[in-house]
Amino acid sequence: MHGIEMKFTVKTLLEKGYSQRQISKELNISRRTVKKYFNEIRSGSIKTPQITKRKKLDNYEEYFEECLSLGLTGVLIREKLEKEKNIIVSYATVSRFLKQFNTPEVYIPLIAKPGEEAQVDFGYLGRFIKDNKLVKVWCFSIVLSHSRYSYHTLVTNQTVSTFINCHIEAFEYFGGVPETVKIDNLKAGVITPNIYGPIIQIQYAELLEYYGSAPITARIRRGQDKGKVEAGVKYVKSNFLKRIEHNDFYQLQLDLLDWTNNVCNTRLHGTTRKVPVEIFNNLEKKSLKNLPLARYEIYKIEHRKVNNYGHISHKNNFYSVPYNYIGKTLIIKITNTLIRVYDDTSQIALHPICSLDGEFITKEEHLPPEKQKRTLQQYINKAIAYGNETNKFLEALIIRKPYEWQRIMKGIFKLENGYDIHVINQACKRALVFNVLTLSTIKNICKNNLYEQPSESLAVNNASGFSHELKKYDDLFNNNLRMN
């Protein structure tokens, strides 16, 4: 046994309670040598060596750095090790080894100006009795980021209407509105949790717009983004909830309001080292935007699929939407008097609520262009654009065929797809000469170029006017066409 090894052996035996005589006998060395080692141990010159256990991946630090520079995950690095280096290790081993390459994230303090921002969140408080039922209870908390002045209230759900109503109460408690409200990725407030383009829930966005504020979503798994309100929720649980010795919901609500006013907002804040209510009253309150004259009206939000007729249903009635939304599922927002229809965040239809049942409420502009009804003036304007004879034909149609003229004129206007409007105008002139006011007549005149032939009367005139019925004139005219 080497000298250094002998020294550590003596030290170990001494620590176990062996006497110098026993150590001398055990190690077969002189008592003088044992005493020498003993004195060195007492002086501290002999220390137990630290044995560092080498890790399986210690020789691959550069390899890991190269993989990380390529953006590879731990799973992919483990696969590369097995494939390229023939090293079989568990994912847990790779994950532990990767920790040495992590650079701690540097957090920059988020300092808000007076009135600039509020942060909101929910915190679960437990089960309490409400109306003889045991219900889950959450605390809705909103904190003004500058002063840390806060408002807390109890809720039994996290629906959109509850979320909105809590904001309304909070703004009224503050007596004003902050410029922005930072929210977590709550279902009530955010549809798509994406910091670069969140689709804020329609009614929540309208609420904040109504009050002159704007929503900001916290990044996913970034609690520091709304750390002020999260600290506020923790304070409710650790300070307020610990005081409660009952399970009555309504009493809990009263206790929470009293605690908010007399404890939470009046204590010396642990971070700012200032009293929230003093900072609020002296500085932040006057920086908030004024409340509107009337409260925001809460809507009911539902989804509806557009049927094949281009309508959505609501309480036994059907309301039109633009025809290009047939088959799509849209969002409807309902009050007692109005129904609004949205595609994502864009309003595409608005209808008064119908008090009857089984009604189709249709707006003309929602129909396809070819099915929309034109006004009389629109028909006149288009007929004039074709020519004076077409306009005369329209005037005669309105008198002679008051229930058919629109259908006939639509057909005449469609002839533009195959004929020049000058040809159609001349065809109307020839039809007027023969006093034959049908669509088929105009088509035949255009098709057979009869508008170029000299006119001849097929009518027999007498004192009472034309003696033949219109059907006979049609027959005569069609026979004339067949002969030609």
Residue 64, pLDDT > 70, answer yes
184 pLDDT higher than 70: no
Question: Is residue 333 within 8 Å of residue 201, measured between CB atoms?
Answer: no
Report the C-alpha gap between 4 and 332 in whole angstroms: 85
Please state, in angstroms and rounded to a whole number, the distance separating the CA atoms of residues 202 and 361: 24
Residue 472 has pLDDT above 50, yes or no: no
Residue 417 has pLDDT above 70, yes or no: yes
Contact 458, 432 (CB under 8 A): no
Report the pLDDT value the prediction gives residue 464, as an integer from 0 to 100.
43
Give whichever of 119-123, 126-130, 158-162, 478-482 has the largest mean pLDDT.
Answer: 126-130
Q: Give CA–CA dist 231/186, Å, rounded.
A: 18
pLDDT more than 90, % of the chain: 41
> Which domains, from first to last, does the chain contain?
3-43 (1.10.10), 58-101 (no CATH), 117-287 (3.30.420.10), 300-368 (no CATH), 374-483 (no CATH)
Q: What is the mean pLDDT of residues 58-72?
A: 78
Q: pLDDT band at residue 2, thresholds of 50, 70 and 90?
A: low
Supply 202's token pair. 């329609």
Residues 320 and 362 sit within 8 Å (Cβ to Cβ)? yes
- Spatial distance between the Cα atoms of 394 and 409, rounded to a whole number of angstroms: 7
Chain segment 337-386, per-residue pLDDT in tens: 889 999 987 899 999 999 899 999 999 889 988 777 778 898 999 999 99
| Cα–Cα separations (whole angstroms), residue 473 to 290, 295, 321, 459, 467 | 77, 71, 45, 8, 10
Distance of CA 460 to the CA centre of its chain: 75
